[in-house]
Amino acid sequence: MSATILPLTQLPAWQALEAHYQKIKNVHLRQFFADDPQRGTRFTIEDVGFYFDYSKNRITEETIRLLLGLADESGLRERIDAMFSGKKINTTENRAVLHVALRAPRDQSIIVDGANVVPRVHEVLDRMATFADRVRSGQWLGHTGKRIRNIINIGIGGSDLGPVMTYEALRHYSQRDMTFRFISNVDGTDFVEATHDLNAEETLFIVASKTFTTLETMTNARTARQWTLQTLGEEQAVARHFVAVSTNGEEVAKFGIDIANMFGFWDWVGGRYSMDSAIGLSTMLAIGPENFRSMLAGFRGMDEHFRTAPFARNLPVLMGLLSVWYSNFFESQTVAILPYDQYLKRFPAYLQQLAMESNGKHVTLDGKRVDYQTGPIFWGEPGTNGQHSFYQLIHQGTRLIPCDFIGFCQTANPLGSHHDILMANLFAQTEALAFGKTADEVRSEATLEKLVAHRVFEGNRPTNTILAEQLTPETLGRLVALYEHSVFTQGAIWQIDSFDQWGVELGKVLAMKILPELNQVEEPELLHDSSTNTLIRHYKSFKLHQT
């Protein structure tokens, strides 16, 4: 962040937005639409394969003008340029933030510490493709000569959520005679359930860990090695049944994985921004190198749009600014992500990490406590399931919950009228949330007077609608990059480091202290607080009853 930028709440645009908010905070979307018959086309953008409708937001042209002013005064342009040119914008870790280099074309040059990183990216992609082709075609055999039928990715956080989400999202494009599973939790149940029906002779593990020291992943990887050797006996089997994705060659070799079977990436790829790096090896195995490259092309398309489109027509910039508008002025606490596509069932969970680990920060880049809210809570479920559970609160609860509705005009699985029913529900929800139902409308349906208040929908609930033609690898790439850059935009406005994650450290350190206390037979001297001490004692005494 350039030293010339004022603290956020002192920026003229921020102050103008505060005044503007007072003026429009009570205006109803019904009013906005009545005042402007063109609104439903005016506040829309069609670009990079998306139709983005943001007309059902509590905004006017003036709101957008002021938000764009806020982006300018916050130095968003300079931040974007700094990221794309490989500057070390992750200042607390002194690292460049270059997930955009993972999808750069071969002939592009992005320099970090004096070296062009793009050729290295393509070298790894090419090796991944060769490996994926060998496994998919049955050329790569297991230790006993059997074909590999099962791929299990072992990883956690950024080394898990992207691969799982992408596998689910692109399952339609996956090699159907292979099984793909993902083990992340250190809870042994995850391992047991993922492997109980598999034959080790036909199973390949990908140990995906940037550091190759993560407790959960290494615990699962060691268990996987035992599980494999139980069936296959000899140590040499490890070389045929384990590959690694990591930045830490030394630890990979120590584990016994042949370095020739390691796929690397770099410290300038953050875990939650790594699904299109070698961390996506399971994805490439599932959908094949060609589809993987289409996905990268999708990412690249959105990167170019973010880098070059004027902010007023820039999808991630507008989405990010709208999120700031609700978080900081309407004081909304959460954002609901509502994909109307079953294949996107893990997308809200993926975005949870992307958004909340990135923007859940309470100090600015220069270490000062912020005096405004930062990252909202992301949550959601695929439609229409959510409609039969938590939508009640969105429609009639007391909180304002901005929602992103994501839908596709074509389905990979045309089945009678399923898709029209699905999409009718998407459109209906955004309409109901915006316009609601007045008491007069309820009365006109001959409703008992005592029920009228219960059946009123206030409306004025804001939504974005993101439509694309079809969920393809390319669309998925664009969609993920859309949210990556929207998160970036928000972080730039809030003047925080969206690329570190110090908040995950403390719990890890304390767990390592507690672990030996759980194993000791004699009562250890417990020096925690009285609650933690008692919980540990309680656990230990009941653990003894396990049969």
Contact flag: residue 480 with ligand G6Q (CB under 6 A): no
The enclosing H or E element of 3 equals none
Q: In sequence order, what are the residues at sequence separation of 6 or more whose Cβ sits closer than 8 angstroms to the Cβ of residue 120?
A: 266
Ramachandran bin of 367, using left for φ above 0, alpha for ψ from -120 to 50, beta for the remaining angles = left
* Minimum distance of ligand G6Q from residue 311's CB (angstroms): 27
386 vs 408: CA distance, rounded Å = 18
Nearer to ligand G6Q, 158 or 462 (CB): 158
Nearer to ligand G6Q, 159 or 472 (CB): 159
Stretch that binds ligand G6Q, among 77-85, 178-186, 209-217, 286-294 (CB under 6 A): 209-217
* Minimum distance of ligand G6Q from residue 78's CB (angstroms): 24
Contact flag: residue 211 with ligand G6Q (CB under 6 A): yes
Residue in 434, 429, 328 with CA at minimum distance from that of residue 28: 434
Cβ distance 292 to 121 under 8 Å?
A: no
45 vs 527: CA distance, rounded Å = 59
Contact flag: residue 214 with ligand G6Q (CB under 6 A): yes
Active-site hit among 25, 362, 508, 513: 508
Q: Confirm whether 508 is a catalytic residue.
A: yes
Contact flag: residue 217 with ligand G6Q (CB under 6 A): yes
Q: In sequence order, what are the residues at sequence separation of 6 or more whose Cβ sits closer than 8 angstroms to the Cβ of residue 516?
A: 524
How many residues belong to the site for ligand G6Q (CB under 6 A)? 14
| DSSP 8-state code for residue 44 | E
Q: What is the CA radius of gyration of the chain?
A: 25
- Binding residue (CB under 6 A) for ligand G6Q from 57, 63, 159, 228: 159
Q: Confirm whether 251 is a catalytic residue.
A: no
By three-state DSSP, how is residue 136 classified?
A: helix
269 vs 247: CA distance, rounded Å = 10
Cβ distance 335 to 403 under 8 Å?
A: yes
* Minimum distance of ligand G6Q from residue 155's CB (angstroms): 6
Q: Confirm whether 357 is a catalytic residue.
A: yes
Contact flag: residue 501 with ligand G6Q (CB under 6 A): yes
Contact flag: residue 495 with ligand G6Q (CB under 6 A): no
Cβ distance 159 to 248 under 8 Å?
A: no
| DSSP 8-state code for residue 328 | I
Active-site hit among 216, 357, 484, 517: 357
* Minimum distance of ligand G6Q from residue 515's CB (angstroms): 18
* First CA to last CA distance, the chain: 58
Nearer to ligand G6Q, 206 or 394 (CB): 206
- Binding residue (CB under 6 A) for ligand G6Q from 49, 75, 86, 158: 158
Nearer to ligand G6Q, 159 or 328 (CB): 159
Contact flag: residue 162 with ligand G6Q (CB under 6 A): no
Active-site residues, by number, are 357, 388, 508
Sites of contact with ligand G6Q (CB under 6 A)? 156-159, 209-211, 214, 217, 270-272, 357, 501
